[in-house]
């Protein structure tokens, strides 16, 4: 489970390929935690404060503790955020977890609070939370929410240099016998160097960084990147025990069928 902590610590249960937050709108910053709570009340009267307060006391038993405000929030993705601002911890919990059992909520509190204070998270909490969010019913619900709440912010497939639809058709014919249902194709609005492409299964869309829509970017490199995303259509994410398998052995073996994959990988490493 990818976890990162800085001024903001986030647990991303969707396992979205980083760097494509533009595919779905970020929630607007809250004016106050009270305003958030008024917008998204605790489901069935559920009060999250006692759970998070107890974990905060455990994690920082002798240190001065900040104020704590925690509410449910209607994220597009299954996100949970924590921010420390002016001696107050602001925590937003995905409303998809409103009915989560108390041990799962405790695990989430342990993860968020320990991460923002740069403390190691005991494996038992990480496993417990991962097991819950990877349950098929939760995954299906999260996918439905992404379809209902998400909004695509992509430019068209025709770029200044390359046409993604044209490249897709060529790859589909050469490697997939025209068997892939064409997704929505579009250029990301920025020339991202770190997050190069992303397949969004909820909206059946592929977004590609504009870093490849320029004359100095070889066409075969763009084709290789798009080919990788097309393999996600053929090999959907599946579960292996408690973990999600994104790049299976079959996926990786077929990726090596691309004639110039070594050359493309070498070019990408120089970005």
Q: Write the pLDDT tens digit of every residue in 85-107.
A: 988 999 999 888 888 999 999 99
pLDDT tier, 232 (very low <50, low <70, confident <90, very high otherwise)? very high
Between 32 and 201, the more confident residue is 201
Specify the CATH class of 164-269 in words.
alpha beta
For Cα atoms 62, 79, 55, give the angle at the middle one, nearest 5 degrees.
20
Mean pLDDT of 153-173: 91
What is residue 167's predicted lDDT score, i.e. its pLDDT?
A: 96
pLDDT value for 151: 59
Q: Rounded CA gap, 145 and 78, in Å?
A: 9
Distances in whole angstroms, Cα of residue 138 to Cα of each of 77, 131, 134, 153: 12, 10, 7, 26
Domain with CATH 3.30.2010.10 in the chain: 164-269
CB 19 within 8 A of CB 194: yes
What distance in Å separates the CA atoms of residue 87 and residue 167, rounded to the nearest whole number? 52
Give the separation between CA 162 and CA 151, rounded to whole angstroms.
Answer: 24
Q: What is the pTM of this model?
A: 0.55
For residue 89 the two structure tokens come to 């911890």
pLDDT in tens, 190-208: 777 777 898 887 778 899 9
The C-alpha atoms of residue 78 and residue 96 are separated, in whole angstroms, by: 7
* Number of Cβ within a 10 Å radius of residue 112: 26
Positive or negative torsion for Cα 227, 233, 234, 235: positive
């Amino acid at each position: 489970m990818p976890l990162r902590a800085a001024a903001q610590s986030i647990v991303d249960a969707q396992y979205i390929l980083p760097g494509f937050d533009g595919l779905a709108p970020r929630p607007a910053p809250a004016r106050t935690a009270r305003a958030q709570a008024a917008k998204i009340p605790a489901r069935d009267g559920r009060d999250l404060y006692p759970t998070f307060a107890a974990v905060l006391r455990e994690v920082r038993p002798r240190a001065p503790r900040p104020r704590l405000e925690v509410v449910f929030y209607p994220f597009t993705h299954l996100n949970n955020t924590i921010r420390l601002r002016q001696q107050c911890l602001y925590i937003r919990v995905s409303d998809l977890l409103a009915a989560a059992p108390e041990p799962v909520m405790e695990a989430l509190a342990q993860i968020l609070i320990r991460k923002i204070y740069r403390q190691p998270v005991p494996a038992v909490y990480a496993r417990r939370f991962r097991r819950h969010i990877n349950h098929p019913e939760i995954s299906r619900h999260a996918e439905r929410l992404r379809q209902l709440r998400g909004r695509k912010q992509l430019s068209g497939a025709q770029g200044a240099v390359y046409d993604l639809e044209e490249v897709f058709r060529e790859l589909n014919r050469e490697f997939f016998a025209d068997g892939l249902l064409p997704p929505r194709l579009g250029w990301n609005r920025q020339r991202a160097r770190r997050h190069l492409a992303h397949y969004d299964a909820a909206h059946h869309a592929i977004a590609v960084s504009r870093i490849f829509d320029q004359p100095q970017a070889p066409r075969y490199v763009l084709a290789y990147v798009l080919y990788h995303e097309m393999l996600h259509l053929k090999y959907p994410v599946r579960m292996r025990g408690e973990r999600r398998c994104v790049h299976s052995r079959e996926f990786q073996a077929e990726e090596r069928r691309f004639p110039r994959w070594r050359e493309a990988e070498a070019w990408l490493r120089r970005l």
